[in-house]
Amino acid sequence: MAVTVDVLEAASRRFNLGLELNHDVTGHESLRRHGATVTPALLAKVKVSDGLMLGPAATYDFKDESKGEINPSKFFRKELDLYANIRPARTYPGLMNKVGDFDLVVVRENTEGFYADRNIASGSSEMLITPDVVVSLRRITRECCERIARSAFELAMTRRRHVSIVHKANVLKIGDGMFIDICHQVAKAFPEVQVDDFIVDAMMAHVVRAPNRFDVIVTTNMFGDILSDLTAELSGSIGLGGSLNAGHGHAMGQAAHGSAPDIAGQNIANPFSLILSASQLLAWYGHRKALPSFSSASQAIERACEDAVKARDATRDVGGRLGTAETGKAIVQRLLVQ
């Protein structure tokens, strides 16, 4: 996050964005200070802000919400209704990959599906019926299907005008059947966009064999979670996978990967995913407010990241030779001279 803050401040100076960055804590640090991983005061602060950057934080550690152990990522997605998780995956010049060049985006529904902590109003939709029987419920709604489909088609209109619908309607006939039907209905409003659909297990093979076939992929929550990690890794590293959680009035940039407390403080963590997520957040705000300078800043950050990877001014996990802080300085330097 420290490196991402440096990049945002550099972008603000370079493009005269006037960013005001307000810092706070979530997760274990907030639990120690306030007795909860996320507080109402923090939510109130976020709601009056133009955007949120959430650093990588533990999620599996937090199991009992009655003790203040709330998953911060889930909390903000649910409280701010961040229904669209936009996860680009692309290859970078100079970084080896085994599948050839590609540039695609997974558009993942973010608020329902098989996620037991976000598809009912209270409690969990995963239930221990007996010591030997667990039932997990999935919620699929027309509203959520329609809005994630529309997000995908609107995005496709800014790219190569191709949407691939991913589902399991051959088995989940009602839920995924409704999802795929609604996606095709929304497609009628975008006649310029090519549409196809794939069963999710077959799709996993297709993106490994020929990811360059795809442009925008739209799917339900859990399928999108898995597929976006796969496509990010195919690009060279999940550490290059940016991620934006967007709703009608709020958005949150968040690295596609989780936290790595075992390497904390060693100056070896890869900052690219969070930086690219911040770039997406700037682009989202620029589009929403019709401010071209924010879009320009986003594009400049992406170019700086690409140039840094190509020059091996990056962390070792993506073929570089620098530490975390030094990688950030290399990106900032490129950003300021563009």
Check whether 231 has a pLDDT greater than 90.
Answer: yes
Q: Is the residue at 118 inside a domain? A: yes
Q: What is the pLDDT of residue 160?
A: 97
Measure the CA–CA gap between 280 and 252, rounded to whole angstroms.
9
Choice among 67-71, 128-132, 141-145, 258-262 with the minimum mean pLDDT? 258-262
Residue 115 has pLDDT above 90, yes or no: no
CATH number assigned to the domain comprising residue 126: 3.40.718.10
Which of 74, 15, 80 lies closest to 51, judged by CA? 80
pLDDT at res. 32: 92
Measured distance CA(82)–CA(71) in Å, rounded: 15
Q: What is the CA radius of gyration of the chain?
A: 20
d(CA 327, CA 313): 6
Q: Is residue 92 part of a domain?
A: no
Confidence category of residue 84, pLDDT binned at 50, 70, 90: very high
Phi/psi at 246 (5° precision) = -125, 145
Which one, of 136, 149, 161, 75, lies nearest residue 109 by Cα? 149
How high is the pLDDT of residue 326? 97
Q: Report the C-alpha gap between 50 and 16 in whole angstroms.
A: 16
pLDDT above 80 for 119 = no
Domain limits at 123? 98-234
Residue at 157 is within a domain: yes
Predicted pLDDT of residue 262: 83
The pLDDT of 278-289, averaged and rounded, is 97
d(CA 291, CA 282): 10
The Cα 164–Cα 153 span in angstroms is 10
- The answer to whether residue 318 is domain-embedded is no
Which whole number is the average pLDDT over 22-35? Answer: 92
Q: Which residue has the higher pLDDT, 250 or 260?
A: 250
The answer to whether residue 260 sits within a structural domain is: no
| pLDDT surpasses 90 at 124 | no
Amino acid letter at 54?
A: L
- The encoded tokens of residue 102 equal 């590609």
Domain count, the chain: 1
Determine, yes or no, domain membership for 162.
yes
251 within some domain: no
Segment 167-187, tens digit of pLDDT:
999 999 999 999 999 999 999
User: Residue 225: CB partners within 8 Å, gap ≥ 6?
Assistant: 108
Report percent pLDDT > 90 for the chain: 78
Q: Mean pLDDT, to the nearest integer, of 2-17?
A: 97
Q: Is the pLDDT of residue 217 over 80?
A: yes
- Pairing assessment for the beta strands 251-254 and 52-54 based on DSSP bridges: parallel
What average pLDDT does the chain have?
93
3-state DSSP helix/strand/coil % of the chain, to nearest 5: 45, 15, 40
| Any domain includes 141 | yes
Q: What pLDDT, on the 0 to 100 scale, is given for residue 97?
A: 82
Averaged pLDDT, 38-57: 94
Among 72-81, 142-151, 181-190, 253-262, name the one with the lowest average pLDDT. 253-262
DSSP letter, residue 315: B
pLDDT digits (tens, 9 = 90+) for 300-312: 999 999 999 999 9
Lowest mean pLDDT among 8-17, 59-68, 77-86, 89-98: 59-68
Asked whether residue 70 carries a pLDDT value surpassing 90, the answer given is no
Does residue 258 carry a pLDDT above 90? Answer: no
Q: Whole-structure pTM over 0.95, yes or no?
A: no
Looking at residue 333, what is its pLDDT? 95
The Cα 112–Cα 220 span in angstroms is 8
* pLDDT, mean of residues 57-80: 86
